[in-house]
Amino acid sequence: MDDFPDFMKTPENSIDPKSQSIGATGWIYDGSDGKQMAYWICAAAGVSKEHVHEYDEYFTVVQGQYTLIINDRRIDVCKGDEYLIPKNVPHAGEFIAGTRTIHCFGGKRADRA
DSSP symbols for 77-97: EETT-EEEE-TT--EEEEE-T
pLDDT in the model for residue 23? 93
Q: Tens digit of pLDDT for each residue in 32-87? A: 999 999 999 999 999 999 999 999 999 999 999 999 999 999 999 999 999 999 99
Residues 88, 54 contacting (CB under 8 angstroms): yes
| Burial group, residue 73, by CB count within 10 angstroms (0-12, 13-18, 19+) | exposed
pLDDT tens, residue by residue, 97-106: 999 999 999 9
What is the pLDDT, as a whole number, of residue 44?
Answer: 96
What digits encode the pLDDT tens for the residues 10-23?
999 999 999 999 99
- Find out whether 104 and 57 touch, Cβ atoms under 8 Å: yes
Output the pLDDT for position 51. 96
User: What pLDDT score does 90 carry?
Assistant: 98
Q: Tell me the helix, strand and coil percentages in the chain, rounded to 5.
A: 10, 50, 40
